[in-house]
Structure 1
Amino acid sequence: MSELPTPTHEYKQGKRNAFTRFLDGVEWLGNLLPHPVTLFALLAVGIVLVSGLFGWMGVAVEDPRPAGAPNVADDGMIRAVSLMNGDGVRRIFTGLVDNFTSFAPLGVVLVAMLGVGVAEKSGLLSAAVRSMVLGAPPKLVTVAIVFAGIISNTASEVGYVVLIPLGGAIYYALGRHPLAGMAAAFAGVSGGYSANLLIGTIDPLLAGITQEAAQLIDPDYTVLATANWYFMFVSTFLITIIGSLVSIYIVEPKLGPYDASKADPDVLDEGMMQPLTDTERKGLRWSGVALLGVLAFMAMTLVPEWGVLRNAETGDRMDSPFFDGFVVWILIFFITIGYTYGRVTGSMKTDRDVIDAMSEALSALGLYIVLVFFAAQFVAFFGWTNLGAITAVTGANFLVESGMTGPVVFFAFIAICALINLSLGSASAQWAVTAPIFVPMLMLIGYAPEAIQAAYRIGDSTTNIITPMMSYFGLILAWATRYQKDLGVGTLIAMMLPYTLFFITTWSVFFYLWTFAFGLPVGPGSPTYYTP
């Protein structure tokens, strides 16, 4: 096993204050849970048993969606569906394989890792990391990682499959705790999911759902994809600052110095902090040329009116095959620059070298694939039984019954969205169920759909990083165990919990000040108030 690189600065174990002891308690309790694979298997079984009980009890809630909408029952109710009867057992047996193979993150990760494996095996990633971190101020590296994580959301899942493991590699190269680097990247990618300088793929999706909900009150109301752009643009810098401060002053000191003996030997690189050779510099230069070529090719498919990857019907660039299939660009990108670097440096000479690199990359994902099998069953069973939708509607009804009408209602709204997100991880799925409740309700007490949507996005983003229901949580856990073999779910949740607490608090206050104290619009042409 290689030795840990000499730290460029020292992070000593922080003092055991009340907050640190609280995080220790969360970690201890969380680590009492079984192995994540076993946990998801037990949860899947538990959902089956609970569905049987709730189905027998006839648990149901009123569906907030209008009659005649897709998947709305004739009687307008969402009922708990039992999997403990003949139909349920047959559905489990016939759907088990499809649940696994159709689990969205699985294909994305496998395809992306084919390309990343080539870049890693060629030596490109090691050289690129060393060129970035040698001599860089440690605290500035943290800021850059969090900021890059937020910006990566423009390109859909690229942050999850590339930036988070890269954050661990960068910190390890600096002699810092690699889990702290992964935490900083995870916080930016997932905790700051809705913030961005640009309009991302999620914006038109949420705007469409919000518009449909708003038209329950006002049939002519329209919501644009840019509805939250101003607020999310500025939020990018807020989340970058908060995420960096939490990383530097809470998460990293709590983790303390890194013990390399806990890592998988395969992830430790003897040459991670060695100066670049002339050959490596030449390889990076030619990789840069290849990068420009890929970017030019990408632009040709999207920018011109005749771009082949624009929406064939509307010509739109955002709602287009370009972004829907962005994982293919990740594959092309890393294979191109990785192979170019390998050819120049001599680390890759034939197609056999590329194939071997891809094979090694996928072989490292064995634990993740096993975990995904059971996680996919749990997520599918949860959806089949309607328990997620029932939870969402019940939480929303609680807000209605509380009777709050002033701006303070948004604090409760954000908190409820954050809680619902713990069990219904998809942003679009959650909003599709809750928007028909919250949007008309808050419109009727005088608030515009655009402002409501902006508040929802705060609650939805901030708890992504502490819920195993988030699609990529298992992947992050699998990568983290490469640096700490005995890592448990509790350790990962405790490591990310400070981000959630600080994000939801500061972001909610910032939203209140932005919209109500200063009266600023959340986006171009987006009002804060609505007159029924």
Structure 2
Amino acid sequence: MPTANAAPKTAMQRFLDAVERVGNMVPHPVVIFLILIAIVIVLSALLSTFGAAVTFERINADTHEIETATTEIRSLLDIEGIRFLYASLIPNFMSFTAVGLMIAAMVGAGVAEESGLVTALIRKLVVVSPAWALTYILAFVGIIASVAADAGYLVLIPLAGIAYLAVGRHPLAGLALGFAAVAGAFTVNMLIKPLDAVLVEFTNDAAHLVDPNRSIGLASNVWFSIASVLFLTVIIAFISDRMIEPRLGVYKPEKSVDGTVPDQSAGLSERESRGLRYALYGLIGLILVFCFLTLPSWAPLRNPETGELIGNSPFMNGLIALIMLIFLVTGWSYGIGAGTLRTLTEVIGAIEKSIKNLGGTIFLFFVLSQFVAYFTYTNMGTVMALSLSGALQAANIGALPLLLGFILVVAIIDLLLTGAIAKWAIFAPVFVPLLMKLGVEPEAVLAAYRVGDSPMNAITPLNAYFALVVGFAQKYDKSAGVGTIVSLMLPYVLWMYVLWTALFAGWQAFGLPWGL
């Protein structure tokens, strides 16, 4: 990785360099997950033999009632476990939603990239935006991208790398910025998204254990979420500019055939400008179609029972389709205007090219899907989460220290259980009633969960998209590996936890309203 020679490295930079060297000494990610699968199989057999189990209360996802359950460690080496290992191989992969999302997103993104739309848009952004604002714009858009579920991982992160490259900055810094924004602030947004509906529903079910008349709404964390988005935008951008990019130094891109370095920051040509106009026309046409499909009360993309559009509706549940169509339509429209991608055959060729490049990633996802399924089957993550939450619950401390301890427990467990909904189904019936009895509003408990659940997403290898980011990085640095990403993301994770937790503590201490 290129480094700057002008100034000596700080102690933190030397530490991160060491983390990167050690991390990159580990085997290929596929080998890592094969080793982890073997460890899970052996541990499950040992823990099951010793009868490891835990009893707890949880929210039934179907009836929304509190039920008592006992979770035992399940062995992968007994008769049922061996049957599961054998029979679930293909179902594990087919149910791994990250694969479908990735392929669907690349159908549109491949056309947009091959036509030249992505490069033209980035260059246009560079021209119209002050140089200092680029980092903040990308950080803000990355956080907001969570409204489109996991599409931000597949679209915003590589775009951030391209944007940095376009202005002569290190593209790995752009990738790190995008990953920190998309993953590290995933549970907050300025808009209400489907995840909020599920988290609020589970919160209400838990609150009814103490007060059957106490309920919170979808916007119960909206003020804290909006403040968190703005706060984290500044933090992420500041860390990128002051810590990540100086450590990476000057990036030296590959030269073209004639020995020159392509100028990505030049003004747009007439053909490119015409292509952008065509892309705008295509976008407007697509928006009109979706207005017809969503705005009328009878619109087919509304919830057929409640009529709602934002929340549990076909529109929100299938938002990845809209993302795909936006890139597909605007990419092809740009190609027609700029003369780079005119025929349907050329469009299909662009799609095929983008999907061919996913071969290694798809194989990695195949192995990763097996590990996630095996780990879930054994119940080891659930038992560990409940054991930690039980220890925290038993601690005789005040409300605010308990909230801060709760954030820490959620952060630790997020290394093993990355699903925000699954963890909240376990934690809500424990901590919401406990803290309500101490005078803490359920809105505050949910806000604490948002803080604890997000930043660790940027550093846990169990994040389905962590390996994908490694692949993005190798496009610019062939030697990049797991250690490279971990060393880039550590400063974000640490400072986001410290400062975001401080914001939460101040919010709670001053009694500010969490939402509507």
Aligning the two structures, in what range does the TM-score lie when normalised by the shorter sequence? over 0.9
- Provide closer, same or farther for how the CA distance between residues 277 and 167 of structure 1 changes in structure 2, counting only shifts above 3 A: same
Give the letter for the 2:300 counterpart. V
> SS of the residue aligned with 2:398?
coil
The residue number in structure 2 matching 1:57 is 50
The residue number in structure 2 matching 1:346 is 339
The residue number in structure 2 matching 1:480 is 473
**Correspondence 1:433 to 2:426:** yes
Kindly indicate whether the alpha-carbon contact (under 8 Å) linking 1:13 and 1:257 is maintained by their aligned counterparts in 2.
no
Kindly indicate whether the alpha-carbon contact (under 8 Å) linking 1:13 and 1:256 is maintained by their aligned counterparts in 2.
no
Q: What is the CA distance between 1:348 and its match in structure 2?
A: 1.7
Q: What is the CA distance between 1:138 and its match in structure 2?
A: 3.0
Instruction: Give me the whole-angstrom Cα distance separating, in 1, the residues matched to 2:148 and 2:227.
Output: 19
Q: Aligned match of 1:455 in 420, 440, 448? A: 448
Kindly indicate whether the alpha-carbon contact (under 8 Å) linking 2:275 and 2:333 is maintained by their aligned counterparts in 1.
yes
> SS of the residue aligned with 1:395?
helix
Kindly indicate whether the alpha-carbon contact (under 8 Å) linking 1:264 and 1:483 is maintained by their aligned counterparts in 2.
no
Instruction: Give me the whole-angstrom Cα distance separating, in 2, the residues matched to 1:184 and 1:13.
Output: 24
**Correspondence 1:519 to 2:511:** yes
Query: With structure 2 as the length reference, what TM-score do the two structures score?
Result: 0.94
Deviant stretches of 4+, over 6 Å: 10-13, 66-75
Q: 1:134-213 counterparts in 2 under 5 A?
A: 134=127, 136-213=129-206
CA offsets per residue over residues 59-115 of structure 1, 9 Å max, x none?
Answer: 001122269988999983110000011211111111011111210111001011011
Give the letter for the 1:290 counterpart. G
**Correspondence 1:392 to 2:385:** yes
Kindly indicate whether the alpha-carbon contact (under 8 Å) linking 1:451 and 1:522 is maintained by their aligned counterparts in 2.
yes
CA offsets per residue over residues 215-243 of structure 1, 9 Å max, x none?
Answer: 22223332211110010011111000000
- Provide closer, same or farther for how the CA distance between residues 491 and 466 of structure 1 changes in structure 2, counting only shifts above 3 A: same
The residue number in structure 1 matching 2:125 is 132
Instruction: Give me the whole-angstrom Cα distance separating, in 1, the residues matched to 2:395 and 2:14.
Output: 34
Instruction: Give me the whole-angstrom Cα distance separating, in 2, the residues matched to 1:66 and 1:299.
Output: 37
The residue number in structure 1 matching 2:489 is 496
CA offsets per residue over residues 371-404 of structure 1, 9 Å max, x none?
Answer: 1011111111111000111111111112112221
Moved more, 31-40 or 322-331: 31-40
> SS of the residue aligned with 1:42?
helix
Identity of aligned residues (%): 38
Instruction: Give me the whole-angstrom Cα distance separating, in 2, the residues matched to 1:269 and 1:395.
Output: 54
Q: 1:315-330 counterparts in 2 under 5 A?
A: 315-317=307-309, 318-330=311-323
Kindly indicate whether the alpha-carbon contact (under 8 Å) linking 1:180 and 1:255 is maintained by their aligned counterparts in 2.
yes
Instruction: Give me the whole-angstrom Cα distance separating, in 2, the residues matched to 1:311 and 1:13.
Output: 59
Give the letter for the 1:286 counterpart. Y
Q: Aligned match of 1:406 in 383, 393, 399? A: 399
Instruction: Give me the whole-angstrom Cα distance separating, in 1, the residues matched to 2:392 and 2:442.
Output: 17
> SS of the residue aligned with 1:33?
coil
Q: What is the CA distance between 1:270 and its match in structure 2?
A: 3.6
Give the letter for the 2:335 counterpart. G
Instruction: Give me the whole-angstrom Cα distance separating, in 1, the residues matched to 2:85 and 2:63.
Output: 23
Kindly indicate whether the alpha-carbon contact (under 8 Å) linking 2:57 and 2:67 is maintained by their aligned counterparts in 1.
no
- Provide closer, same or farther for how the CA distance between residues 293 and 49 of structure 1 changes in structure 2, counting only shifts above 3 A: same
Instruction: Give me the whole-angstrom Cα distance separating, in 1, the residues matched to 2:251 and 2:184.
Output: 24
CA offsets per residue over residues 285-318 of structure 1, 9 Å max, x none?
Answer: 1111111222222233223212211111111112
Q: Aligned match of 1:331 in 287, 309, 324? A: 324
Moved more, 189-198 or 65-74: 65-74
CA offsets per residue over residues 459-516 of structure 1, 9 Å max, x none?
Answer: 1011110101112212222212211122111110110111111111111111111121
**Correspondence 1:506 to 2:490:** no
- Provide closer, same or farther for how the CA distance between residues 299 and 155 of structure 1 changes in structure 2, counting only shifts above 3 A: farther
> SS of the residue aligned with 2:308?
coil
Instruction: Give me the whole-angstrom Cα distance separating, in 2, the residues matched to 1:98 and 1:69.
Output: 23
CA offsets per residue over residues 253-291 of structure 1, 9 Å max, x none?
Answer: 111112435x999xx994633431101101101111111
Moved more, 227-236 or 191-200: 191-200
The residue number in structure 1 matching 2:298 is 306
> SS of the residue aligned with 1:76?
strand
Q: What is the CA distance between 1:135 and its match in structure 2?
A: 6.8
**Correspondence 1:257 to 2:250:** yes
Q: Aligned match of 2:281 in 285, 289, 313? A: 289
Gaps of 5+ in 2: none
Instruction: Give me the whole-angstrom Cα distance separating, in 2, the residues matched to 1:477 and 1:216.
Output: 44
**Correspondence 1:21 to 2:14:** yes
Give the letter for the 1:319 counterpart. N
Query: With structure 1 as the length reference, what TM-score do the two structures score?
Result: 0.91
The residue number in structure 2 matching 1:529 is none
CA offsets per residue over residues 319-373 of structure 1, 9 Å max, x none?
Answer: 1111111111112111111111111222122211011000001011122111101
> SS of the residue aligned with 2:58?
coil
Q: What is the CA distance between 1:136 and its match in structure 2?
A: 4.1
The residue number in structure 2 matching 1:423 is 416
Instruction: Give me the whole-angstrom Cα distance separating, in 1, the residues matched to 2:291 and 2:496.
Output: 35
The residue number in structure 2 matching 1:530 is none
- Provide closer, same or farther for how the CA distance between residues 45 and 13 of structure 1 changes in structure 2, counting only shifts above 3 A: farther
Instruction: Give me the whole-angstrom Cα distance separating, in 2, the residues matched to 1:13 and 1:455.
Output: 42
Instruction: Give me the whole-angstrom Cα distance separating, in 1, the residues matched to 2:396 and 2:234.
Output: 35
Instruction: Give me the whole-angstrom Cα distance separating, in 1, the residues matched to 2:59 and 2:327.
Output: 46
Q: What is the CA distance between 1:15 and its match in structure 2?
A: 3.7
Number of aligned positions between the proteins: 512
Kindly indicate whether the alpha-carbon contact (under 8 Å) linking 1:231 and 1:522 is maintained by their aligned counterparts in 2.
yes
Gaps of 5+ in 1: 5-9, 525-532
Q: What is the CA distance between 1:248 and its match in structure 2?
A: 0.2
Instruction: Give me the whole-angstrom Cα distance separating, in 2, the residues matched to 1:305 and 1:486.
Output: 54
The residue number in structure 2 matching 1:78 is 71
Q: What is the CA distance between 1:12 and its match in structure 2?
A: 6.4
> SS of the residue aligned with 2:413?
helix
- Provide closer, same or farther for how the CA distance between residues 145 and 68 of structure 1 changes in structure 2, counting only shifts above 3 A: closer
- Provide closer, same or farther for how the CA distance between residues 67 and 275 of structure 1 changes in structure 2, counting only shifts above 3 A: closer
- Provide closer, same or farther for how the CA distance between residues 68 and 197 of structure 1 changes in structure 2, counting only shifts above 3 A: closer
Give the letter for the 1:349 counterpart. R
- Provide closer, same or farther for how the CA distance between residues 66 and 523 of structure 1 changes in structure 2, counting only shifts above 3 A: closer
> SS of the residue aligned with 2:514?
coil
Kindly indicate whether the alpha-carbon contact (under 8 Å) linking 2:58 and 2:68 is maintained by their aligned counterparts in 1.
no
CA offsets per residue over residues 155-207 of structure 1, 9 Å max, x none?
Answer: 22221111100000111111111010011111111111122221122111110
Moved more, 134-143 or 144-153: 134-143
CA offsets per residue over residues 431-480 of structure 1, 9 Å max, x none?
Answer: 11221222122222221111100011001011110101112212222212
**Correspondence 1:113 to 2:143:** no
